[in-house]
Chain A
Amino acid sequence: MLKYITRRILFLLPILIGVSFIVFTLLYLTPGDPARMVLGDQATEEAVREFRDKEGLNDPFLVQYGRYVYKAVQGDIGRSYMTRLPVAREIMNAFPYTVKLALFSMLIAIVLGIPFGIISAIKQYSLFDSVMMIFAMVGLSMPVFWLGILLILFFSVHLRWLPSSGFNTIAAMILPSVTLAAQSIAIVTRMTRSSMLEVVRQDYIRTVRAKGQKESVVIWRHALGNALIPVVTVVGLQFGNLLGGAVLTESIFSIPGVGRLMVDAIKMRDYPLVQGGVLFIAVAFSLVNLLVDLLYAWLDPRIKAQYR
């Protein structure tokens, strides 16, 4: 198992090289001059030239990339063009917000989605099931910005219960987390339901019933233990995505998270920040995936046997 984890972490190296190369290439090919963006319209030709020289933007592509990798290996991923702060610190300032937002909304999605899915499955075609499936469809198809604005209108403007921006108090966390969770609740509910429906028809569930086991134990212990495996995949992917920043939600609720940081960096052609941000997201995503795979092994001994 330890060997497996070590190997998976070593796999990060080629992933990082690949990701950095692709991002570097894309930025190189993107129109727009960072010097002009940073220095503003009134900047003199001289100042622009000086900036480009200093940041090495006039060097050939491979030289630029080589220099970046050489420094990155030593732990230096550059400074933001805009703020002149180290990229690592910029990201670390934004990351806690994103993690909190992602964790809270996934928590909501799991706590609500899994029970909803189970009840929907064991009461298939009931009123509850139909209502849940309608909610799930609405949740899936509702745009995040629309839901966010609606919630702000109702809970912040009309009822004045919750703040409409920021993310520093529990009260301020509620609206953004719910907004971001809406889709995940829908996905987790549907996934749990269909997975449960498949599992309760399995022969081994009949075997448990034939033992004289209580229906509640049949469902919550035997069926759920098997039905959760695909749900974990979905939750993991969702969580990995959210760690990359929830741009819309962060913008609506003015949360200074990774998503907003990245969008601003791209707009300003802040190359080092974009590079660093993407690399960081790639690492976070890979680690979450590893975590999901380990969770798999814990849930399913058949998968554990394959991890060597």
Chain B
Amino acid sequence: MEDRKLILDIQDLSIQYRVEGGTVHAVENLNLALGYGENLGFVGETGAGKTTTALGIMRLVPDPPGRITSGRILFEGADLLRKTEDEMRSIRGGKIAMIFQDPMTSLNPVMTVDKQIAEMVLLHNDVTERQALDRAVEMLELVGIRSERARDYPHQFSGGMKQRVVIAIALACNPILLIADEPTTALDVTIQAQVLELMRELRRKINTSLVMITHDLGIVAEMCDKVAIMYAGRVVEYATTEALYNRPVHPYTEGLFNSIPDIDRDEEELKVIQGLMPDPTNLPSGCPFHPRCPYAVESCSREAPGMVEIEPGHLVACPVRTEHRLNSVGWKGGAGR
């Protein structure tokens, strides 16, 4: 895409899980790009394939049953899927770090937190154990945990503090790409705000690119420059946050925005997207969203839609809506590319 240098460029990535009773197409021909220093919000329902994509980037998809079946993941121009396990290990944690979803279970319960941070430091830096432990204490202070608590075990911390420790581990080696998998989902609202503020502050300090996985559109609006909306293993809309929030195009995106309750309006019922997420072992033919889509036409069940660029940097996978939009707005720039 264009000339700007990309830190991450995922091309046609497919990841499958083989389970009893079929194959789950967790991620299907996914394309995604992220520039240096950019923040990407990665939005979708539970089971849409967000975490699997993140694990794919880290090459940590549990195998078996999971397997990356096709595609390329270009990180700083080199395909991660072609790296050896040793090369991958120096990238994991060193260049790409991940913050996991559930802080309650993400820390080793039988190891003090300073050691868990120091382990990361030791793996990617040429330092002594003493220096690594000092760095660990430094990181803890950076995320707002007093140094006296460094020798404590995870069970002695609250959920929010554990998440801070997880963040401290992820940032210990100044990664250039940070993947945060629902970093605030397991936390209550006040702690959420604190953690987000912390991440913003840290990003300012060490200028990391960020992939923020979430199903909270509010967090995306606050944190991200770009948004990818994911449905049933596919990206259905990709745009700048500003464009997506002002001009959502894909029916699923539209449904997501409509289902946000409006405090000013007096509504009896929450507006929801009709139907349920499809069975991942048995996705609908054509566009996987068509059974739930109010705009679906007959051809939707036959042809899987490709991404169409309806304005610079705004891609949508819905022929029905993009055609309608292109006609009404009269902008045809990217359609043919």
Residues of A whose CB lies within 8 Å of any CB of B are: 202-204, 206-214, 222, 225-226, 299-302, 305
Contacts and interface: CB of A to CB of B under 8 A. Distances in A.
B105 interface: yes
Q: Which of A202, A207, A209, A305 has the largest count of B CB atoms less than 10 A from its CB? A: A207
Given A204-B108, A208-B108, A212-B120, 10 more contacts: A202-B105, A203-B102, A210-B92, A211-B119, A211-B123, A211-B169, A225-B110, A226-B109, A302-B109, A302-B153
A292 B90 CA distance: 40
B228 to A, nearest CB: 21
Interface in B149-198: 153, 155-156, 166, 169
B219 interface: no
Nearest to A225: B110
B266 to A, nearest CB: 42
B120 A206 contact: no
A231 to B, nearest CB: 14
Given A208-B119, A212-B94, A301-B153, A226 B100 contact: no
Contacts of B91: 212
A214 B108 CA distance: 16
Contacts of A302: 109, 153, 155
Contact of B120 (A211, A222, A301): A211
A207 B92 contact: no
B153 to A, nearest CB: 4
Contacts of A202: 105
A211 B98 CA distance: 8
A212 B89 contact: yes
Nearest to B85: A215
A172 to B, nearest CB: 40
Contacts of A209: 60, 92
B326 interface: no
B111 interface: yes
Nearest to B54: A210
Q: Which of A203, A204, A212, A226 has the largest count of B CB atoms less than 10 A from its CB? A: A212
B93 A210 contact: yes
B124 interface: yes
Contacts of A225: 108, 110-111
14 contacts: A203-B100, A204-B107, A204-B108, A206-B106, A207-B100, A207-B169, A208-B108, A210-B92, A211-B92, A212-B91, A212-B94, A212-B123, A214-B89, A225-B110
Interface residue tally on B, bucketed by range: 20 to 34
A301 B155 contact: yes
A301 to B, nearest CB: 4
A222 B108 contact: yes
A178 to B, nearest CB: 33
Interface string B67-94: 0000000000000000000001111111
Nearest to B110: A225
A213 B108 contact: no
Nearest to B120: A211
Contacts of B94: 212
B97 interface: yes
Contacts of B169: 207, 211
B316 interface: no
A225 B101 CA distance: 23
A215 B337 CA distance: 44
Contact of B110 (A203, A210, A226): A226
Interface in B28-53: none
B249 interface: no
A300 B109 CA distance: 8
What 6 pairs across the A-B complex have the smallest Cβ distances?
Answer: A212-B92, A212-B93, A203-B105, A211-B93, A301-B153, A212-B89
Given A206-B60, A207-B100, A213 B119 contact: yes
Contacts of B106: 203-204, 206-207
